[in-house]
Amino acid sequence: MALRVADYKTDVHNDWCPGCGDFGIVNAIQMALAEMGVERDRTAIFSGVGCSGKTSHFINTYGIHTLHGRVMTFAQGAKVANPDLTVVAIGGDGDGLGIGAGHFVAAGRRDIDMTYIIFDNGVYGLTKGQASPTLKLGEQPKSLPKPNLNYSVNPIGLAITSGYTFVARGYSYDIRHLKDMIMQAVRHKGTSFLDVLQPCPTYNDINTRDWYAGLDMKDVAERHSRIYKLEDTGYDPAVHYADRGDLDEKISQALIRSLDWGDKIPIGVFYKNEHITSFETRMQEHIPNYTENPPAHQRISEEERPITDVSGLLGSLLV
């Protein structure tokens, strides 16, 4: 029986602030899971800690709400142990790009087949609005005692240079587009990264829904949504040939677009490279039956007795 979006929802009370961008993201995730028809008990959503971290409780699959900044570590461990699982990790911008930045980079190097979604609201929502690593220099959302002293991290650029093989951005109030990004990300073989612009109406009074819509622009005639879709401009994110020329071009254009902010903010797929050997394949080069007999499938005992045969090793230790 085909599953409906409702099947992917739990009845846990959702305590996000009214109007929070997170609602759109969780809806998009549930819609994407339903549309792809992923099996609920073969899917695990891992989340970090923050407002965003609660997401795993609202989705009716396995849901693991981990620690602040550490979501990718838990998620990767599970996926390596059981590659059959559909694994999606989610977390805040502080979670993934501040306290968890080291894990963010390391995950790109591994490129395990899974998805990472960051809820990018420019603030630390759950701790009452401090600056997150994506907040721009000099900005002062309402909880900050003085303007932000630091430059911001560039999530898209960092993901590409760290080795993520699918890098995209969505907007939490464009749910259909976001759902489409999530589906592409989940289907991608390798670690896909999705940066989701997420207004936090409670603490980020700068990058609001109205701001993204361009309603603050002075010249009424020229007013336009700040957000535009890369795909509408004929942008081609995909690396088509496994050679340096194409790679250089696709990485460069993606990095250049990743710098865009202000009046024109791109969403859509920035970069996609399907020519990288997957982590599973790399594992298999050393453990030939890794994918068909990964850790989670292996039997280790028979009637409470170990069945691992270490007689070879023990024999070599005998004097």
Ligand X SMILES: Cc1ncc(C[n+]2csc(CCOP(=O)(O)OP(=O)(O)O)c2C)c(N)n1
| Positions that interact with ligand SF4 (CB under 6 A) | 16-17, 20, 22, 51, 121, 125, 200-203
Q: Is 66 in the site for other proteins (CB under 8 A)?
A: yes
Q: CB 292 → ligand SF4: shortest distance, Å?
A: 42
Contact call for residues 159 and 11 (beta carbons, < 8 A): no
Site string for ligand X, 38-57 (x = CB under 6 A): -----------xxxx-----
Q: CB 133 → Mg ion: shortest distance, Å?
A: 9
Q: Phi then psi for 46, rounded to 5 degrees?
A: -105, 140
Q: What is the DSSP letter of 163?
A: T
Q: Phi then psi for 116, rounded to 5 degrees?
A: -125, 120
**Range in contact with Mg ion (rule: CB under 5 A) among 82-90, 130-138, 214-222, 243-251:** 130-138
- Of 132, 162, 172, 258, the one binding Mg ion (CB under 5 A) is 132
- CB-CB neighbours of 309 under 10 Å: 8
Q: CB 190 → Mg ion: shortest distance, Å?
A: 25
Contact call for residues 266 and 228 (beta carbons, < 8 A): yes
Q: Is 158 in the site for other proteins (CB under 8 A)?
A: no
Which of ligand SF4, Mg ion, other proteins, none is residue 147 near (CB under 5 to 8 Å by kind)? none
Which of Mg ion, other proteins, ligand X, none is residue 37 near (CB under 5 to 8 Å by kind)? none
Taking CB under 6 A as the criterion, which residues in 66-95 touch ligand X?
Answer: 68, 92-95
Q: Is 125 in the site for ligand X (CB under 6 A)?
A: yes
How far apart CA 319 and CA 315 sit, in angstroms, is 9
How do 130-131 and 123-124 pair as beta strands? antiparallel
How far apart CA 238 and CA 150 sit, in angstroms, is 33
Q: Is 283 in the site for other proteins (CB under 8 A)?
A: yes
Concatenating the DSSP letter of every residue in 1-57 gives ----GGGGB--PPP-SPTT-THHHHHHHHHHHHHHHT--GGGEEEEE-SSTGGGGGG
- Of 22, 93, 111, 195, the one binding Mg ion (CB under 5 A) is 93
Number of residues that bind other proteins (CB under 8 A): 65
Contact call for residues 93 and 118 (beta carbons, < 8 A): yes
**Range in contact with other proteins (rule: CB under 8 A) among 116-124, 133-141, 147-155, 279-287:** 279-287
Contact call for residues 166 and 149 (beta carbons, < 8 A): no
Nearer to ligand X, 207 or 278 (CB): 207
- The residue with tokens 């859509």 is 268
Which of Mg ion, other proteins, ligand SF4, none is residue 179 near (CB under 5 to 8 Å by kind)? none
How far apart CA 8 and CA 293 sit, in angstroms, is 29
Picking from 110, 105, 109, the residue whose alpha carbon sits closest to that of residue 279 is 110
Site string for ligand X, 154-183 (x = CB under 6 A): ------------------------------
3-state secondary structure of 243: coil
Binding site for ligand X (CB under 6 A): 49-52, 68, 92-95, 119, 121, 123-127, 132
Binding site for Mg ion (CB under 5 A): 92-94, 121, 132
